[in-house]
């Protein structure tokens, strides 16, 4: 069974809830049984007391009616009259009385349980006796002739009753516990199976299968627009239905965003493309500085449009097109590509790749890295240094990941600007002249977020950028 394979069942909240229910049921069963036991105990001793009362009255009556009889004769007559097993009256019985309060008697009392009369009962001139090993309860009665006799009742059967009571009590509790445990396991397994199903579906959707929906236990109306009778579904199907509805809505919204950005791309770029070709042919016919400047300016606008649309597209993207990316290969390409660039500037550039693999889009990751390296390149003085270091690093939730650390020896940036630099079109005053659009870091952030990672800035003898990405394919 599946739950046997998952030790997680112990930590699952439904199992814990079921165990709590088991505990409550079990405890209440135990309480009921204890109450029954106590009630039974009281009833038994009350009836013993009542029967001794009756016997006392009868004995005294008999003594009154026939005062001529001696005590022995009276007792013999009385005993003959009674069922001898119920009550025995004896005179004196000194030897037995001596046993009262002896350690042997105490030991017997302790072992007796149900056969142990309540303290109130013993206080009323009752005594416990053991006659030939059989337990009896006795009461002394003073006869009219002044002699004292003892009326005693055999309670040895109580010990047997006690044993069988305990046995059925324990048996009952064990059965209850068993049933409750089995029931909770079955229930937990059922709910866990549904939860796992929902989890798996969510993972499949996150992995890029956007058309995936959570299956229902109960067959639903196949028509997508038909709202099912939610009341007729169980909780999990209701939850699945709502999640599926939510996914549909998100899917629609994402499709709209993509459609809009495609439309913008087309409707904005077409006129720009026409302007560009007109400028280009004008320049071909009669080269002039004005037209050349205009072309350059236009190319800047085009690049900015492209970056903006690129960010919008990345933000509406899914991980559907992701493939395994080797960190070593990617970083070696970066080193090979940027080594000479830094070299020309007299900047020392070092790259330390590692052997992790992550699921991603290598073009986008390259774009993110080059944006950061371009920044580092622009802000590091000659003879400075830039390093790119990859290390295996666990994420905040303990999942495997890779950390890229890009460290330059430039002036760094003000701590107050750390969040601002990720905003679109944000540029520091000094960088405003350097010709960027203020989109570079926004793009980096959207790329890293698409990959499920994080970007952090810090100042450490220059600017340090820490990128964390989840590893594994």
The footprint of other proteins on this chain (CB under 8 A) covers a number of residues equal to 42
Binding track over 422-441 against other proteins, x by CB under 8 A:
--------------x---x-
Region of 180-188, 231-239, 298-306, 417-425 interacting with other proteins (CB under 8 A): 298-306
Considering the complex, state which of residue 219 and residue 320 has its C-beta at the smaller distance from other proteins.
Answer: 320
Region of 39-47, 140-148, 165-173, 367-375 interacting with other proteins (CB under 8 A): 367-375
Considering the complex, state which of residue 249 and residue 303 has its C-beta at the smaller distance from other proteins.
Answer: 303
Binding flag, residue 348, other proteins (CB under 8 A): no
Binding track over 239-278 against other proteins, x by CB under 8 A:
-----------------------x--xx--xx-xxx-xxx
For residue 346, give the nearest of 306, 403, 311, 386 by alpha carbon: 386
N-terminal to C-terminal alpha carbon distance within the chain = 29
Q: Which of 351, 361, 379, 448 binds other proteins (CB under 8 A)?
A: 361
Q: Which of 58, 209, 315, 333 binds other proteins (CB under 8 A)?
A: 333
Considering the complex, state which of residue 15 and residue 349 has its C-beta at the smaller distance from other proteins.
Answer: 349
> Cβ of residue 197: shortest distance to other proteins, in angstroms?
30
Residue 263's Cβ-side half-sphere holds a number of Cα atoms within 13 Å equal to: 6
In the structure encoding, which two tokens stand for residue 67, read together?
Answer: 């005062």
Q: Which of 163, 259, 281, 399 binds other proteins (CB under 8 A)?
A: 281
> Cβ of residue 334: shortest distance to other proteins, in angstroms?
10
Do 26 and 180 form a contact (C-beta atoms < 8 A)?
Answer: yes
- Strands (E) located in 261-368: 323-326, 348-352, 357-360
Considering the complex, state which of residue 65 and residue 296 has its C-beta at the smaller distance from other proteins.
Answer: 296
d(CA 116, CA 420): 83
Residue 5's CB is within 10 A of a number of other CB atoms, namely: 8
Q: Which of 367, 385, 454, 458 binds other proteins (CB under 8 A)?
A: 367
> Cβ of residue 240: shortest distance to other proteins, in angstroms?
30
Cross-strand bridge partners of residue 357: 326
Positive or negative: CA dihedral 116, 118, 121, 122:
positive
Q: Which of 190, 212, 313, 464 binds other proteins (CB under 8 A)?
A: 313
Q: Which of 127, 377, 379, 451 binds other proteins (CB under 8 A)?
A: 377
In the structure encoding, which two tokens stand for residue 391, read together?
Answer: 């290390």
Residue 414: phi, psi to the nearest 5? -60, 140
In the structure encoding, which two tokens stand for residue 116, read together?
Answer: 């142990």
Do 198 and 240 form a contact (C-beta atoms < 8 A)?
Answer: yes
d(CA 393, CA 400): 7
d(CA 466, CA 393): 11
Ordered DSSP codes for 79-108: HHHS-TTTEEEEE--HHHHHHTT-HHHHHH
**Contacts to other proteins by CB under 8 A:** 262, 265-266, 269-270, 272-274, 276-278, 280-281, 302-303, 306-307, 309-310, 313, 317, 321, 333, 336-338, 340-341, 344, 361-364, 366-367, 370-371, 374, 377-378, 436, 440
């Amino acid at each position: 069974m599946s739950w046997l394979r998952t030790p997680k069942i112990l930590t699952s909240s439904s199992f814990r809830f079921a165990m709590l229910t088991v505990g409550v049921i079990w405890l209440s069963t135990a309480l009921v049984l204890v109450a029954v036991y106590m009630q039974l105990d009281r009833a038994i001793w009350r009836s013993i007391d009542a029967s001794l009362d009756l016997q006392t009255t009868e004995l005294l009556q008999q003594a009154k009616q026939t005062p001529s009889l001696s005590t022995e004769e009276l007792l013999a007559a009385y005993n003959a009259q009674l069922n001898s097993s119920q009550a025995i009256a004896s005179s004196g019985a000194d030897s037995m009385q001596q046993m009262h309060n002896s350690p042997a008697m105490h030991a017997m009392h302790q072992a007796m349980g149900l056969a142990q009369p309540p303290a109130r009962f013993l206080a009323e001139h009752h005594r416990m006796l053991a006659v030939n090993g059989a337990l009896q309860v006795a009461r002394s009665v003073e006869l009219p002739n002044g002699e004292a006799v003892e009326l005693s009742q055999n309670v040895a059967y109580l010990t047997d009753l006690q044993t069988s009571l305990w046995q059925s009590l324990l048996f009952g509790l064990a059965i209850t516990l068993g049933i409750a445990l089995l029931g909770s396991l079955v229930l937990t397994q059922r709910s866990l199976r549904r939860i796992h199903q929902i989890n798996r579906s969510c993972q499949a959707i996150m992995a890029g299968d956007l058309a995936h929906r959570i299956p229902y236990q109960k067959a639903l109306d196949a028509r997508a627009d038909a709202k099912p009778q939610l009341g007729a579904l169980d909780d999990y199907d209701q939850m699945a239905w709502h999640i599926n509805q939510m996914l549909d809505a998100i899917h629609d919204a994402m499709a709209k965003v993509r459609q809009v950005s495609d439309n913008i791309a087309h409707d904005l770029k077409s006129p720009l493309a026409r302007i560009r070709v007109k400028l280009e042919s004008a320049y071909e016919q009669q080269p002039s500085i004005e037209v050349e400047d205009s072309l350059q300016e236009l190319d800047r606008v085009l690049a900015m449009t492209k970056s903006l649309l690129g960010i919008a597209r990345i933000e509406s993207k899914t991980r559907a097109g992701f493939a395994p990316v080797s960190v070593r290969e990617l970083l070696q390409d970066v080193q090979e590509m940027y080594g000479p660039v830094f070299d020309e500037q007299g900047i020392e550039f070092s790259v330390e790749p590692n052997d992790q693999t992550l699921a991603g889009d290598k073009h986008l990751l390259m774009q993110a890295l080059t944006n950061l390296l371009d920044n580092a390149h622009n802000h590091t003085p000659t003879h400075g240094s830039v390093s790119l270091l990859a290390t295996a690093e666990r994420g905040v939730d303990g999942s495997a990941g890779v950390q890229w650390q890009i460290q330059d020896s430039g002036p760094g940036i003000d701590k107050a600007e750390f969040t601002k630099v990720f905003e679109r079109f944000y540029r520091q005053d000094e960088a405003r002249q350097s010709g960027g659009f203020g989109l570079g870091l926004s793009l980096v952030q959207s790329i890293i977020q698409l990959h499920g990672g994080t970007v952090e800035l810090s100042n450490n003898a220059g600017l340090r950028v820490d990128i964390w990405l989840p590893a594994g394919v």
